[in-house]
Structure 1
Amino acid sequence: MTLRLFAALPVPDSLHADIRRLQKGVPGARWRPPENFHVTLRFFGEMDERRAEDLDAELAHIVMAPFELALSGSGWFGKLDPRALWLGVRPSEELLQLNAKCERAARRAGLEPEHRNFHPHMTLAYLQGTPIEKLTRFAERTGGFATEPWRVTHFTVYSSWLSRGANNIYEPEADYPLL
């Protein structure tokens, strides 16, 4: 059996209502449900159970203190062919350090290096056929959006399952405390 895994920081339930209020006015948007709100640290991809166990052992060795994080601003990926709408993350040196530690753990577990630059964000919607002018209006309306900071006390590895509906199913597989 293979698993499709990624490490992420779950967005606290206390922020879901404010985020949900932003999810309107963009044609072609497939809005993410609150249970899928997270900030990805590292996408690991498909692997067999043995490799997943190796990855779990490496991630369990990550030592880092809890830190504060907040969402701030918005934008989209795919400049001229928009594919995803996102909320940004307020700059955080600790978040960059945690991403780097997850990357090193992945390499120690035998995974290929991540070739994309880390762009911390929370995916708000996937897009299909959305006009740029609608995204520009959305970005103008939500560009000043910011959440109160929350304390990050752990990160989670999720498995991702494709569903027949518009949304993937993300299942938490393991939590790793920050002490």
Structure 2
Amino acid sequence: MKDDRRASIRLFFALWPQEHIRSALVQARAGGVDGARPTHPQDLHMTLVFIGDVDPDLLPCIETAGDDVALAAFELTLERVETWPRQRLLAAAPHDPPPALFNLVSQLQQNLLPCGIQPEPRRYRPHVTLARKAARKDPAPVAIPWPVQDFVLARSGAAGPGNGGGYQVLRSWQLD
């Protein structure tokens, strides 16, 4: 019997760092990954909205959610590397995220409602996961300026063998 169900795809909107920011993030995690599982450099990103597993037929609606964002480019600075003990993550995070970041997240969440995608109930906590299964580490200051000029829609688990990362950028949008 033929299975007509289509495989779901796992999607999320994110900020995808330029190469110089990616290099700074890799350097910032140095010394903090003993026994941990470092995030592949090509997978470093800041999730804006996790969408999750969806039917591929929803992709046009989800892309429209990105199309409808109206926001100017802004500056974000990652100011600390810290361990989140509960999740066992080593993360780079801003101390005082700019309001524009929260505005971008809010617009995407609202624009996804017509697609039947509800916002996560948890408070948004901006960060870049540098490593998983990390041991507790004292917070360390960093200064990684990130000029945010665009955002992307990415797919989890899409990279093939030898491609390095486990994510595939499907589409990007420039901020005004």
Structure 2-normalised TM-score? Answer: 0.84
Show structure 1 runs of 4+ deviating over 3 A. Answer: 162-165
Does 2:8 match 1:2? yes
Contact 1:23 1:124 in 2 (8 A): no
Counterpart position of 1:64 = 71
Corresponding residue to 2:99 among 64, 70, 93? 93
The equivalent of 2:155 in structure 1 is 159
Q: Distance in 2 between matches of 1:49 and 1:114?
A: 20
TM-score after normalising by structure 1: 0.83
Deviation at 1:70, TM superposition (A): 1.6
1:174 counterpart = 2:171? yes
| Per-residue deviation, 1:68 | 1.1
Unaligned regions of 5+ residues in structure 1, if any? none
Q: State how 1:31-46 maps to structure 2 within 5 Å.
A: 31-46=38-53
Residue identity matched to 2:68: H
SS at match of 2:69: coil
Structure 2 match to 1:54: 61
State which of 128, 139, 142 in structure 2 corresponds to 1:145: 142
Instruction: Please report how far the alpha carbon of residue 19 of structure 1 lies from its aligned counterpart in structure 2 after TM superposition.
Output: 2.2
Query: What's the CA shift for 1:15?
Result: 2.2
Letter in 2 for 1:112: Q
Q: Percent identity?
A: 27
Aligned residues: 166
Residue pair 1:8, 1:158 contacting (<8 A) in 2 also: yes
Cα shift readout 1:6-53 (whole Å, capped 9, x = no counterpart): 000112211233322233343331111221111110100000111122
From 126, 132, 145, the equivalent of 1:126 is 132
Query: Are 2:89 and 1:84 equivalent residues in the alignment?
Result: yes
Unmatched runs of 5 consecutive residues or more in structure 2: 1-6
Matched residue, 1:104? 110
